[in-house]
Chain A
Amino acid sequence: MDIASLSIDSIREGLLSRRFSAAELAADALRFAEAANPETGAYLRFSPERALASARRVDERIARGEDPGPLAGVPVAVKDVILTKGVTTTCGSKLLAGYVPPYDATAVVRMEEAGGVILGKTNCDEFAMGSSTENSAFGPVRNPVALDRVPGGSSGGSAAAVAQGTAVVALGSDTGGSIRQPASFCGVVGVTPTYGRVSRFGLTAFASSLDHIGPFARNVKDAATLLRAIAGRDVRDSTSAGVPVPDYAALPGGGVKGLKLGLPREYLKDLKSETGALISGGVDAFQRLGCEVREISLPSTDYAIACYYIIATAEASSNLARFDGVRYTSRSASSETLADMYRNSRGEGFGAECKRRIMLGTYVLSAGYYDAYYLKAQKARALIAGDFARAFEEVDAIVAPVSPFPAFKLGEKVDDPLAMYLSDIYTITGSLAGIPCMSVPCGKTAGGLPVGMQILATHFGEPVMFRVASAFEQAGGVN
């Protein structure tokens, strides 16, 4: 079986025609993934028992003549910030090195109910903080497209697994671009749904008001199928939305002729590189498909980086407080006093990027600074959301770059966190607005590095977003 080229549809067809069973597929997929993993390090660990148990359930359903579910037998990789009951979940942090959660994330439960088979947990930046997966306490992930390069981050392991073919689809999380940017770097599809579309229950929080769980896939339809399976209201997440979930994958393939697409002026002014040329090529492709592409303005974009790094770090400083060495996190062995225990456990446990963000976040929330930073950032966030709201009165979707550059070399940017932060500019605006956005492959550079096209839609506008992405994909992207 050619594991690396499977899709949700081909698996379903194989299962229903009894060419293979889900258990056989799971075993093959695990063998293949375990063999291929050393190349990239996409997976931190595999969960064969759980995978085989899920696969057997699918086979039983098929044997009983029941519908085995929209994800029947599909091998899935899950980012290690998403909790899996009984399967170690580290968040890429030394602090949680041996942590075995007692419960499953809602997205995991729903994905398995739909027939999905979890092969294992994927590497990521520690607590999802980073853009290269180099901030993992368990070593970096290599980009399967170019092994000397990063897969992007923070969901680098999930993107790499899907690109490498060691998973058919994967779950990642996105706070400021952590799904779209690695999807772009690895040449796969990555979706950040509307905020509230997918329950966050069981997602280890980085920045609660910005965190999303979303899918990776090798094609738009698979991403849409996975999203549909995990989306919807969850009583355990007060911020999850009660908006009905349409069948994203079964949307009319009516093309995009006549759709109005917006191209944000502010995103293109500094984009003169090869990436810029590929994005322009993508825009031309949309025009060939009959879309009306017009330039739009998102004037508050300049505030986005500062706004994002204030809000995200403020929330992170509070969310990461529970990793204090008192209970499930590792405790420093050398502590005389309570204060020492906190200081040493956290000092020894957190990596440099987490510490940087905890300090930033603690600072911006401090007495006397709250109004100047946090409150102002919230106002800027409202302005950014307002920009999008106005734009969507004019256009059906927005197309934009994902990252200013393609995958960079391992170690190239680790000493320049600010440059790393600045590279998030195109993805964090959508995150701040809470709107659905995705990355879809948009050709490769001369050096063979993938570049993603970002497609953004209004709140709960996933159907139009998928329609645009699907038409773009079928037209062959740029090339």
Chain B
Amino acid sequence: MSLSASAPATPEAIARYEPVIGLEVHVQLATATKIFCGCPTSFGAPPNTNVCPVCLGLPGALPVLSREAVELAVKAALALNCRVRPQSRFARKNYFYPDLPKGYQISMYDEPLAENGYVDIVLEGAPKRIGVTRVHMEDDAGKLLHEGFRDSEGCSYVDLNRSGTPLIEIVSEPDMRSSDEAYAYLTEVKQRLQFIGVSTCDMEKGHLRCDANVSVRLKGAERFGTRAEVKNLNSFRFLKLALDYEISRQVALIESGGQVEQETRLYNPDTGETAGMRGKEHAHDYRYFPEPDLLPLRIDEPWLDRLRAAMPELPARKRARFIEDYGLREYDAEVLTATRAGSEYFETVATVSGDPKSAAHWVMGDLMGLLKAEGKEISESPVSARHLGELVGLTAKGELSGKLAKEVFAKMSASGEAPGAIIEREGLKQISDSGALEKAVEDAIANSPKQVEQYKGGKTTVLNFLVGQVMRATRGQANVAVVTELFKRKLG
């Protein structure tokens, strides 16, 4: 039970206040090697095996900056609309902790990699711009293992495999005014970084970590309130829950005559509460100073241009283009650009089929249903984008009825074959030749005198029944439009 826990604020009280939220997001870059040495960054290796004198912080070891890490960090900065500084500088952040072998983290301080960016979010149709103050690079610490050893009661172990893993920290402006905005911002940041391939942003593996600075003020007040830093927001859901809790806690505190303390608070997912971290965290003076072991990082225009040119289209841009070029609805465009792999899949289906709207319909409907049922990512789809495009193309050209297409799709997902091969083998091609259908139409007329009577009497809806007869007789292969036309001619 947290000492500072008190009754939550009433909705009326909360409504009188405006939350002010800024996020600090740490993202692990998807490099093959660590930021200052050649050790692999692979996850799950036995403890202390992906290490060397540099990432172990042995005496005499020196950092050498990875070019790949810089390039990914720059791409991230560009994706967040930041200005990449021509010169940035690493700085040492000094503190003692057993997972920090050098006794300092190599980060950036007053000369970060990039500044002045922004991310646009849309909340209930209303667009809003969230400022990105800065993006800087740093190395990660190791990990303390408190459990799973025979002597875990009495001591902890240190695994330095993660030590030296490249990170970027993305600091937002305090521009968010609700937990929903924070959620939308984090979603947008994550999506962009995944899109350009700089990080997997896998929160479960700690590739995306988020801290929030939260304060509240009476609506209309000019000055920000005292902020608390909330840590341990390890999922999107926890981010929202923790922010809502913290906002309510601060409002309740102020309403009851108290004052918010500037402190670091830890979110506890089990209780759903945040609790102040006592002692040490407060007193930290990191004694930043320029890292003398590294030269200033200079990123000239040609290098920046090359990286800019190599940037894939970002989700927002892609969304707009899907709406504009393919005539998709906003919602569909959003769903189809949620991941880079998904958007690329859709575009292939749209191009191959020549019918973007049907392509969207198929990808969002049958394909996503299939993936969900099989628990697969789109990159693992049993039906390739090209094959689905061919299938959608056949229906668009009227060579396959919708019903047959679904049958073919089911077979494609089982065998991974191209639709053409399945149609060929099973003889499923749509019958559009009116000569071939004439007999079936005449049979249907002969077998349904009552309905024919009704039709002639003006009840044209029975036409559906008659067409259905033909479809059944042809095992669904008849072209509905041709059959309908034949009925009209014969009964008209």
Contact = CB atoms under 8 A, between A and B. Distances in A.
B64 interface: yes
Nearest to B54: A236
A367 B104 contact: no
Interface in A317-338: 317-318, 320-324, 326-328, 338
Secondary structure call for the A interface:
loop
B289 A318 contact: yes
Contacts of B94: 317-318, 321, 365
Given A235-B64, A238-B294, A314 B96 contact: no
Interface string B27-71: 000000000000000000000000001001111111111000000
A339 B63 CA distance: 27
B146 to A, nearest CB: 12
A208 interface: yes
B103 A318 contact: yes
A358 to B, nearest CB: 11
Contacts of B96: 321, 324, 342
Nearest to B37: A236
A176 to B, nearest CB: 15
A362 interface: yes
B450 interface: no
A342 B97 CA distance: 9
A322 B96 CA distance: 9
A314 B293 CA distance: 14
A367 B62 CA distance: 26
Nearest to A328: B58
Interface in A150-208: 200-205, 207-208
A100 to B, nearest CB: 11
Interface residues of A, number: 45
Given A208-B292, A342-B96, A374-B289, A238 B62 contact: yes
Interface in A73-105: 82-83, 89, 91, 96, 99, 101-103, 105
Nearest to B158: A326
Contacts of B295: 238-239
Contact of B60 (A83, A314, A327, A338): A83
B223 interface: no
B188 to A, nearest CB: 34
B26 interface: no
B102 A322 contact: yes
Interface in B246-294: 280, 285, 287-289, 292-294
Interface in B457-474: none
A237 to B, nearest CB: 5
Contacts of A204: 59-60
Contact of B59 (A91, A235, A236, A342): A91
Contact of A322 (B63, B103, B280): B103
A31 to B, nearest CB: 31
A91 B285 CA distance: 28
A205 to B, nearest CB: 7
Among A315, A321, A365, max chain B CB count under 10 A is at A321
Interface string B332-371: 0000000000000000000000000000000000000000
B98 interface: yes
B58 A101 contact: yes
Contacts of B61: 201-202
Given A327-B101, A365-B287, A236 B292 contact: no
Given A236-B64, A321-B96, A365-B287, 7 more contacts: A83-B60, A91-B59, A102-B53, A200-B62, A237-B64, A327-B158, A342-B96
Interface of B: 53, 56-65, 92, 94, 96, 98, 101-104, 158, 280, 285, 287-289, 292-295
11 contacts: A96-B59, A101-B60, A201-B61, A204-B60, A208-B293, A239-B295, A317-B94, A322-B57, A323-B59, A365-B289, A367-B285
